[in-house]
Amino acid sequence: MSHLFSPLALRGTTFRNRLVLSPMCQYAAENGFVGDWHREHHARLALGGLGGAILEATAVVPEGRITPGCLGIWSEDHIAGLSEIVATYHRHGTAVGIQLAHAGRKASTALPWEGNGPLPEGDPRRWTTKGPSALAFAEGRPTPEMLTEAEIGDIVAAFGAATRRAMAAGFDFVEIHGAHGYLIHAFLADISNRRTDAYGGSIENRMRLALEVTSAVRAALPEEAPLLFRVSAIDGVAGGTTIEETVSLAKALKAAGVDLVDCSSGGIGGPSGVTGVKPTPGFQVPLAAEVKRGAGIPTMAVGLIRDPELAETVVAEGSADLVAMGRELLADSAFAYRAARELGLEDPESVLPLRFGFFLARRPPSPAARPAS
């Protein structure tokens, strides 16, 4: 029996297996809108037999985009395009969620193939960044403006409004982006949050934004819709998040209605912008295991999980409940089929849609049974 190919139910959503598309920015949007590339990219993945898929970091306000090419959900007009992607996944049996995000001091960045640096002065696409404190993410990055408490309240409300739009688009679940140095993570980490008001100082205060956003999102979700939260479980730099803080956060998130914590790491930056976490296969799995054990909440493991045996082990050993994959799925959208074969499932082709699986069945159909071509 394969643990990886067993279903998982979270509230009213069933993931038919444990493989999930990790959220990945496509840098293909204009004014936040879904376009041809998103439809093509997600259609390809929707045919791959995944249990779940999470759409890329999608900004709840325009200035919350990482780059000018990021998706947005700040207006009612964004709903129609997103609902097309949802329908594509649903036609093929994959539960689909959206990652709601605000990039904070890491916003207003050039596209990766334009160098990934800050948009230069004078570039008409550039905008003013805001964060917990007036501290730059790294040398050479713009110094953000410190958010006022009223502005923080507006951002919390924007997450709630974005959730209502996500539900209108038909998503099964929502993931809050609380990782990788973006706004919520920047509030959580001491290195980027030097505030002296209710949002800074103690860990309770630094967690306040994460919990306010969680409450606003949960309040806008129907009871049956699961809520996921992505953390950078550790930063590996002085003043960054630690596993102890993350376990405390996960307990508080659980009490506020989060159903699963998605455990990534790093991204907070600092003077050098360097993260202290070195990627190796499955390097973040122990973080997911620690959060699951310490906070008693389901988790998702992610990061250089490319091998079916490793993915199977993560679930079988109870380190995490779901396995997210990013880059390997860009190369091999039918990874689920490969995994099913390598793990020795009896009918691996059944993970794919009929029009693929029928012809991949190990015993070819008799000529009489073959459909006329």
Ligand X SMILES: Cc1cc2nc3c(=O)[nH]c(=O)nc-3n(C[C@H](O)[C@H](O)[C@H](O)COP(=O)(O)O)c2cc1C
Residues near ligand X (CB under 6 A): 22-25, 56-57, 99, 177, 179-180, 230, 264, 302-305, 325-328
Provide the token pair at 190: 């001491």
SS (H, E, C) 91-138: HCCCEEEEEEECCHHHCCECCHHHCCCECCCCCCCCCCCEECCCCCCC
Q: How far is the CB of 185 from ligand X (least distance, A)?
A: 10
In this chain, which residue has its C-beta nearest to ligand X?
326
The residue among 88, 121, 137 whose CA lies nearest residue 272 is 137
Nearer to ligand X, 165 or 180 (CB): 180
Catalytic residue among 27, 89, 182, 199: 182
d(CA 330, CA 93): 19
d(CA 178, CA 250): 11
**195 three-state secondary structure:** coil
d(CA 29, CA 68): 8
Sign of CA dihedral 54, 58, 64, 67: positive
Q: How far is the CB of 134 from ligand X (least distance, A)?
A: 25
Q: How many angstroms separate the most distant Cα atoms in the chain? A: 77
Q: How far is the CB of 27 from ligand X (least distance, A)?
A: 8
Q: How far is the CB of 64 from ligand X (least distance, A)?
A: 12
d(CA 305, CA 4): 13
Q: How far is the CB of 21 from ligand X (least distance, A)?
A: 9
CB 326 within 8 A of CB 24: yes
Nearer to ligand X, 114 or 328 (CB): 328
- Is 337 a known active-site residue? no
**103 three-state secondary structure:** coil
d(CA 264, CA 236): 12
Residues catalogued as catalytic? 182
